[in-house]
Amino acid sequence: MDNLRQQFIAFSVSTGVLRFGEFTTKAGRNSPYFFNAGLFHEGATLAQLAQFYAQTLLDSGVEFDMLFGPAYKGITLASATAVALAGKGRNTSFAFNRKEAKDHGEGGTIVGAKLHGKVVIIDDVISAGTSVRESVQMIRAAGAEPCAVLIALDRMEKSGADGALSASSAVQEVSREFGIPVISIGNLDDLFSYLGEQPELTASKERVAAYRAKYGV
């Protein structure tokens, strides 16, 4: 686990965004951990999160022209990441969508820069991949090209209901469907490595290991 990824997991735990216990996921699974990016709701923590997004994107080597944040969490994430990138000497434009089209003023569903060139979609996680698919459609409809998806945490677990689990994760399915990379700041492997370095979290590590054995890809 490289230093940036290690720092991100530790940061998420320290802010209470990444928690251990018993949680029910959207898929109805009993998960031993939960990641809620909506809890990055203070200026200082959002600024730090944006630094992780920006540096991860730059380190990926992906060529891009602008950022796109799907409503609603992606709006803040794309905006903050654009600010962080500017601070690193990479000034880039960004846009986001409305859930409902505006019927006055400039109208439409896209706010911000005109979608153009190679576009990075920024979100918190990929659960079913719905927001990514909608984003890809909007970007392509505008004549631009989605070039990557950037998320905070990849849970690296099989998609689908327990009775019909896929062999792939939602992240893998999105990448394969659209032919673009999905880049994450951290993933389940990074989380597991972090737990291995925290003796007080041994019980949580064991539960995460059991969960990974059952649902991991």
Q: How far apart are CA 43 and CA 62, in angstroms?
A: 28
Residues in the chain: 217
Q: Residue 69 phi/psi, 5° resolution? A: -115, 110
Q: How far apart are CA 110 and CA 118, in angstroms?
A: 16
The confidence band for 1, taking pLDDT boundaries of 50, 70 and 90, is very low
Give the dihedral sign, CA 17/61/114/83.
positive
N- to C-terminal Cα separation, the chain? 18
Q: How far apart are CA 189 and CA 149, in angstroms?
A: 19
Amino acid making up residue 33? Y
The confidence band for 191, taking pLDDT boundaries of 50, 70 and 90, is very high
Tally of domains within the chain: 1
In this prediction, residues 27-41 reach a mean pLDDT of: 92
Amino acid making up residue 80? A
In this prediction, residues 124-133 reach a mean pLDDT of: 88
Say yes or no to pLDDT of 150 above 50. yes
* Residue 104 annotated among the catalytic residues of the structure: yes
- Active-site option among 104, 116, 118, 158: 104
pTM, two decimals, is 0.92
pLDDT, greater one: 159 or 81: 81
Q: How far apart are CA 64 and CA 61, in angstroms?
A: 9
Q: What is the DSSP string of 61-74?
A: T---SEEEE-TTHH
In percent, how much of the chain has pLDDT > 90? 83
Domain containing residue 204: CATH number: 3.40.50.2020
pLDDT of residue 109: 87
In this prediction, residues 133-141 reach a mean pLDDT of: 95
In this prediction, residues 117-146 reach a mean pLDDT of: 94
Amino acid making up residue 154? D
Determine contact, residues 205/192, Cβ cutoff 8 Å.
yes
pLDDT of residue 27: 80
Quote the tokens at residue 113.
Answer: 């820069």
The confidence band for 163, taking pLDDT boundaries of 50, 70 and 90, is low
Domain that holds residue 200: 3-215
- Give the pLDDT confidence of 49-96 residue by residue, as tens digits: 999 999 999 999 999 999 999 998 999 999 999 999 999 999 999 999
Q: How far apart are CA 194 and CA 9, in angstroms?
A: 7
Q: Where are the beta strands (DSSP E) in 123-203?
A: 145-154, 182-187
In this prediction, residues 30-45 reach a mean pLDDT of: 94
| Helix or strand run (H / E) with residue 37 | none
Say yes or no to pLDDT of 101 above 70. no
- Active-site option among 41, 88, 102, 114: 102
Q: How far apart are CA 183 and CA 148, in angstroms?
A: 7
In terms of Cβ atoms closer than 10 Å to its own Cβ (0-12, 13-18, 19+), residue 193 is middle
